[in-house]
Amino acid sequence: MAFLGGLFGSGPQPSRTEQVPRFTPQQQAMQNQMLSMMGPLMQQMQQPQQKFDFGPVEQQARTQFREQTIPGLAERFTGMGAGGQRSSAFQGALGRAGAGLEENLAGMKSGIGLQQQGMEQQRMQSLLASLLGGGMQPSFESYYTPRTQQSYGILPYLLGGGQQAAMGMLGSMF
């Protein structure tokens, strides 16, 4: 075919666009599978996640308060005399210590909840980004071939009196 084009020349070729698959069939199947996971993942992201069980931490802090803080306060006020533990100062110190315990526990609980929420959100965003990154790539690559000009072969030169030019072309072909 190329030899005949060299003899007679070829007419202008129109421009064209060709689409070629970017992925093997196995990769395409994987991409389709990732896209099918998007719906369930979006539903999972909207449902509440399992929370951190703060109960053991809270119980440990309350036990420590009962076994160390209260006896320490009592010992301090016992040194003030026989009625030290019944005084309003002791009751106030005990109330402030208890309020401090509750405030610290609430702060810890809130901090852990925020940290867990951030980690869960980060995990879901990472998973979603992976799915979107792999699943949203185009499946085909488009190639554009511009229009070509008409080329002239050897035969028109031979017939038209351009024997020397034709012989030069023929020599360059072989």
What burial class does residue 34 get, using C-beta atoms within 10 Å of its C-beta: 0-12 exposed, 13-18 middle, 19+ buried?
A: middle
pTM, entire model: 0.45
Helix (H) / strand (E) element for 21: namely strand 16-21
Instruction: Flag whether pLDDT at 161 surpasses 60.
Output: no
63: confidence class by pLDDT, cuts 50, 70, 90: very high
